[in-house]
Structure 1
Amino acid sequence: MSTKQQIDREAASAKDKLNEASDEIKNQARSAVDEAQRAATNYAEDGKNVAAGSLTDFAKAVRSASDELSSRDQGMAARFVTEAADGLERVANSVSGTSVEEMAGSVTDFARRNPGPFLVGTVLAGVALGRFVKASSERSHDAPSHAGPAGTPYRPTGTAPAASPVRPASSAPAGSTVGTPTRPNVKTTS
């Protein structure tokens, strides 16, 4: 066998192995994408089920308010609240009885048929989401980052709370110094 034939055979063998490796990489990539899609779908289904459960719970609370209004002879208000509870229950049943793919298809179809209202709804949802995130972040800054038992601030073992520069407020008479900042006792030499 000549050197050229041996080189051609080795090149063909290398090409075959490269094609096999390429096919294996493609199969693994396809498998990874399929797994990611399944995970995303499962996550979305879980979220949908939680949302449907929350809507059902909210509808029950609204229905309870309607019953309370009825017991207090507030018939007209009770009817409105009952209608709201009925609507919430219908939405909850619709959400729980529809797959994520069907919901996505419905949203896509609505967006194609009604692009204007869809864009307005998207903008309004974005504004609402932004306000929610902003309010949530403001609340998280107000709360202590680490809470111990019964909501007490977390302090590592062996540390004492820092002295407050402000006296606690009380029902002291006007003009008293309670609740005003204090200065440390500093001796001055004059």
Structure 2
Amino acid sequence: MSAEQRLADRRERLMTAAYTLYAKPGFAATTIERLCSEARISNRAFYECFGGREELLQALHERCVEESLAVVAKALQEAPPTLAGRVEAGIRAYVEFATADWRRARIMHVEVRRSGDVLAMSRQRAVDSFSRLVEEASADFPQATPLNRHLVALGVIGGLQELLIEWLLSDDQPTIDELVTVAVHIFNRSLGPG
């Protein structure tokens, strides 16, 4: 392999190790030494790939967000051309994708908050991207009230995030269909004609 290929391989091995370790035991409990051991690389090689644990977490979070946005955007494009159809398709796609691998859901909805300032900007960019998707998907339809559509989008996204945190942390875990049904209800009541 070329030096560039070796660097890309090490970087990917670190991303894979972080995907598991940052999900559990979590970002705060994961040391660089543990990441390197899991990825089977040296500490020196770690710093050739990332400036620190925080940079690795940001790269991992951004990858999860990009993949999720792509899945939701595709579902919205293929959805029936009604608000209810778009809401159902977008939410189902997001919830099913996020929960298909608990590590992804945990990084995007639990560790992103526990990491404090580390992911503050990355989290804000993700929320902005998802709110734009919601605004665009609902733009052609009348709202129940003349509220600021951007703020409504932020509110419904926050509700969906809390539902996923409940799924991750609850002893009595709701089903995926329950999550989708409740999220669809919240979105329709917030974004629909009333």
TM-score tier by shorter-chain length is: under 0.3
TM-score (norm 1): 0.24
Larger C-alpha radius of gyration, 1 or 2?
Answer: 1
Identify the structure with the greater helix proportion.
2
TM-score (norm 2): 0.24
